[in-house]
Chain A
Amino acid sequence: MKRLSRPAVIAAVAAITVVSLAAFSGTATAAAPAAKSAKKSTLYFGVSAAETGPYAQYGTQFQEAFTLAADQVNAKGGVNGHPVALKYQDSQSDPKQSVTVAQDFVNDPSIKLVFGDYSSAASIPASPIYTAGKLLQYGFNNSNPDFTALGSKYQWSTSVTTNESYTWTADYIKKQGVKSVGVTYLNTSDWGIPAYQAFKAEAKKVGLKITDAESVDPTSDDFRPSLIKATAGKPQAFVHIGYGPDAAEIVTQLRSVGYKGTFYGGQDVAAFDTTPAAAGSIEGAEFLPSSPAPLVKSFVKAFTKKYPKAGPVTGFEAGAYDALNVAVAAAKIGGTTRAGILKGFAKVKNVPSVVYGKITFDTKTRLPAAPQLTPTVLKNNEWVVYTK
């Protein structure tokens, strides 16, 4: 008998492996038990977020908040008796992977809604898949207006968009009596650039002069050359359009190039809050952990009790917490099916929210109707309401 040559064996083994993988995975998915017992079936929500990779910290924050909210909901009887549970998949907030995750979720009939992704760049490419699969994609953390604007009726968000945020910022700065600002913004297509465009447009409208605007590379850590240029025109105040960690570097380096004016920027994350140079920064906040509202107080209390080792509660946890409650409210109105939840989203009214107080959707934009921002200042490593 002719001895089989090496490559033939390799090819055969590869082929058998691939085929059995295919067949096996096929049956594995099909074998997911549809529990039909006396207990009501669990209502599953999918979560597409980063468990590993550069955005893993945000995935952890979401998970903690979701778990807390789900526990509270289930303690009160779930959704009309159905317990709520979450299925997580790691997308690394990477558009290539979020698409695969989306296909997975769409093909899993037990999933009735998906939360995610962390970044608009990962959510937007997955939208056509969710739309085709008729599965509601709740991009609660996506502030790029394109997510809902270019999306279909299946894309919803309870995040303040960058347009609203930076329009508010330009207005507020002008109201403070500032006449000119220097700007740095992240050179990213999904966030920094559109945010800057919104800021620029509003600044022009209200007569706020931008002495210089520098786009910066988000992967860089040293921004001094850009800051030297941005402050060369001696602006009265300085604006940074970016995230917390880069804002921490910017504000530190801003002070070391000798600029003393007010810094408008930053985010409620540990890296920024504990940076010494960041004290005195001002930004418009949605979620304020020090808010006296009873709902916020009980949320912060419950969160710090359940996760004593986690950092301080930020807008990321708050957004996720709200998102689960909104989804539950929608399911209570419309039913625990994909189509029912979609209908429910259009109908929810005044869902209690730790970020906005109450949430009702503008069904045309699929965003919260009339969101409010509060000016806050960083004092003693904490953001508090700013009154001037």
Chain B
Amino acid sequence: MLDTFIAGLLRGNVYALGAVGISLIFGVMNVVNFAQFSFFGLGGMLAWFFVAQEGMPFWLALPLTLIICAGLGLIINIAVVRPLAKYLPLAAMLSTYAVSQILDNTSQATFGAQDRVFPQVLATSNLHIGAMRFGTSDVVMLGVTTVVMVTMSLFIKYSKVGHGIRATSQDQEAALQVGIPVGRVQNISFVIASALGGLAGVFFALYVGIADPSAGLNTGTVAFVAATLGGLGSLVGAVIGGFILGILEAFGIYFLGGASDQIIVFAILIIVLIVRPGGLLGKVPLISTEPLTGTFLGKGRPFRIPWWVWPAAFVVVGVVIPLLGNTDVLTAGTQVLIYAIIAAGFTVTAGQAGVIALGQAGPVAIGAYASALLTLYVHFPFWVALPVAGIVAAVIASVLASPIWGVKGHYISIATLGLGIAIVAIIQLVEPQGLYNIPVPHWFGTALSTPVDYYLIDFGVLVLTLLVMWRLRRSHLGKVISSVGSDETAALASGVRGRNYKALAFAISAFFAGIGGSLLAAQYTYIDTTVFTTLMSILVVTIVIMGGINLPYGAVIGSIILIGALELLRFTDDLRVIVYGVVLILVVRFRPGGILVKNS
């Protein structure tokens, strides 16, 4: 037991360092900085590079690594985050995801994609308590964390800049008004947070023995949950949260096995958000400042679409392309169509109910697995499995999400992100083997499995989806849901219980996500959980933002541009992901209301 506790303590140490950085930035800018996660991986790789490749002593390499991380952090803040955070915190958050992708890929391009043996700059197993060995490096790590924490607490409590940070976290506008250089405060926070992230990365690499370029996202996500546990914005809370989470994780893995790792982490996240959204030491503001979502709605009136566009689009997309397109275009087209279906359904939650749910990959996965299992083992025909999968996804997702709707503002997005990941992790636990040989759709005996077949099936489903969306918006129910999104307080005053309608909207979106998943399963004929990533969730949200958050047909355009562009960019080899990240940032920067909306 003591061994596991010590292991948890050392794990928690890394999380604590990372969580402090995340909490710091959130407090000061209201932005969850995904780019922070990249510094975990980058810190390890840079230190490895300086010590193992360039032959520097560790005591020179470490500060150099920290300086580079800090510098990068500063650039990221000035170039990307601050301009967006001023108007649209959610957009800033999404763009930090794009930045993290860019950082990761640049790191891979520079240092290579392999794991590197991390040089034993400090002894790693020369000490022991009982049978559990640990080393000088672990003691140094604990010591450094303590020193850093104490320094930071004193800094924040007593220095002028520290006061500035506290003031900015409490109320940005008020701080500006009393003359605090908020911009400089935010820059400094970014610098500190990035350096801490790099430091955590170095110690983590030392602890596990390997500099893993992809360690960032994993460790980063857990550090983020630790920060939430401690209370986003509270630095002491972040440290406590980090250690608690490390220890809980260690014991969880000991008793329940390694596969349950992610579920434990996200169960903790969701429990925290429901029971005490402010975390252990944070404070949730009584009056929710403008929720993340309010920044997209009401951003201008959508353009009026002349009547002839609809039949013209139908002909082009539904007839011309299948006739003329070659396999490349058709296969890309099916991806575009499926994402369009998922995204169009998602506009009910994001646009009408005003909830930016960040975990759509979860319901998509449920739909895909449900459809696959039904056609594979119960021998349902595909046409029956398709709607059933949608219903299953809607029901399961709603049940799992039901405790969340009471949570306010930012935290709903975070909770749904966690929920999406947790759903996929649960599926992995229940059905770790992928599903092979998923039957393709049959029409009166003929197998439909060529690209043209899939394209036409997907197109048909998309048309039906858009029709349903159109009818829904014009119906009484649709208007009630929209009222919740436009002004929840007014709706409540009129007797509309926001919670219930948000849940309903989420269920409707989950239905369409499940249908999208079913189409995916039938097309790939093989699925496992690696298909349903956080990137998929974020792609859906980005498509919807690009097309206009309240416009289902905008989701189609968004899907054509983003997914179509991704397929087109296949030809640009290594730069592909980097270019995609840059495109995302530009879109979010210059057209936040969506491209089909008149900029007001």
Contacts and interface: CB of A to CB of B under 8 A. Distances in A.
Interface of A: 5-8, 10-11, 14-15, 18-19, 21-23, 25-26, 29, 51-57, 90, 94-96, 99-100, 103-104, 107, 121, 124-125, 128, 132, 146, 150, 184, 187-190, 193-194, 214-217, 219-226, 228-229, 245, 248-249, 252-253, 255-258, 269-271, 274-277
B204 interface: yes
A125 B218 CA distance: 27
B433 A193 contact: yes
B218 A22 contact: no
A52 B576 contact: yes
A187 B125 CA distance: 28
Contacts, number: 229
B208 A253 contact: yes
Interface stretch (B160-168, B316-324, B390-398, B492-500): B316-324
B257 A215 contact: yes
Given A90-B570, A96-B531, 7 more contacts: A5-B306, A11-B309, A21-B329, A194-B433, A220-B218, A252-B208, A276-B117
Interface stretch (B30-38, B63-71, B246-254): B246-254
B309 A258 contact: no
Contacts of A274: 117
Contacts of A229: 4, 253-254
Given A51-B573, A220-B261, A248-B117, A121 B218 contact: no
Contact of B557 (A10, A25, A104): A10
B219 interface: yes
B214 A190 contact: no
Interface stretch (B140-148, B231-239, B380-388, B522-530): B522-530
Contacts of A276: 117, 120
B434 A225 contact: no
A276 to B, nearest CB: 7
B449 A132 contact: yes
Given A19-B324, A26-B326, A249-B208, A125 B7 contact: no
A6 B8 contact: no
B325 A221 contact: no
B436 A124 contact: yes
A15 B316 contact: yes
A269 B249 CA distance: 30
Nearest to A381: B117
Given A8-B309, A52-B574, A150-B436, A22 B331 contact: no
Contacts of B212: 221, 245
B114 interface: yes
Given A10-B596, A225-B249, A228-B4, A249 B210 contact: yes
Interface stretch (B19-27, B128-136, B357-365): B128-136
B156 interface: no
A279 to B, nearest CB: 12
Nearest to A187: B259
Nearest to B326: A26
A217 to B, nearest CB: 5
Task: Give the residue among A99, A228, A245 with the most B Cβ atoms within 10 A.
Answer: A228
B303 interface: yes
Interface in B552-596: 557, 560-561, 564, 568, 570, 573-574, 576-577, 595-596
A95 B526 contact: yes
Interface in B308-353: 309, 312-313, 316-317, 320-321, 324-329, 331-332
B3 interface: yes
A56 B525 contact: no
Task: Give the residue among B134, B434, B570 with the most A Cβ atoms within 10 A.
Answer: B434
B215 A258 contact: no
25 contacts: A5-B305, A7-B305, A7-B309, A22-B325, A25-B328, A26-B329, A56-B108, A56-B113, A90-B570, A94-B530, A103-B327, A125-B436, A125-B526, A128-B449, A219-B218, A221-B204, A221-B212, A222-B11, A226-B253, A226-B257, A252-B124, A252-B210, A256-B124, A257-B133, A258-B131
B573 A95 contact: no
A125 B131 CA distance: 46
A223 B212 CA distance: 14
A171 B568 CA distance: 51
Contacts of A121: 434, 526, 528, 530
B540 to A, nearest CB: 15
Contacts of A25: 325-326, 328-329
Contacts of A132: 449
A135 to B, nearest CB: 14
B437 interface: yes
Contact of B209 (A8, A11, A252): A252
A248 B211 CA distance: 11
A119 to B, nearest CB: 10
Contacts of B557: 10-11, 14
Contact of B128 (A7, A258, A270): A258
Contacts of B131: 257-258
A104 B436 CA distance: 22
Nearest to A186: B258
Nearest to A55: B113
A56 B105 CA distance: 11
Contacts of A277: 209
B183 interface: no
Task: Give the residue among A5, A55, A194, A225 with the most B Cβ atoms within 10 A.
Answer: A225
Nearest to A224: B7
Contact of A225 (B133, B254, B451, B530): B254
Interface string B185-224: 0000000000000000000100111101011001100000
A188 B437 CA distance: 18
Contacts of A249: 208-210
B304 interface: yes
Contacts of A90: 570, 573
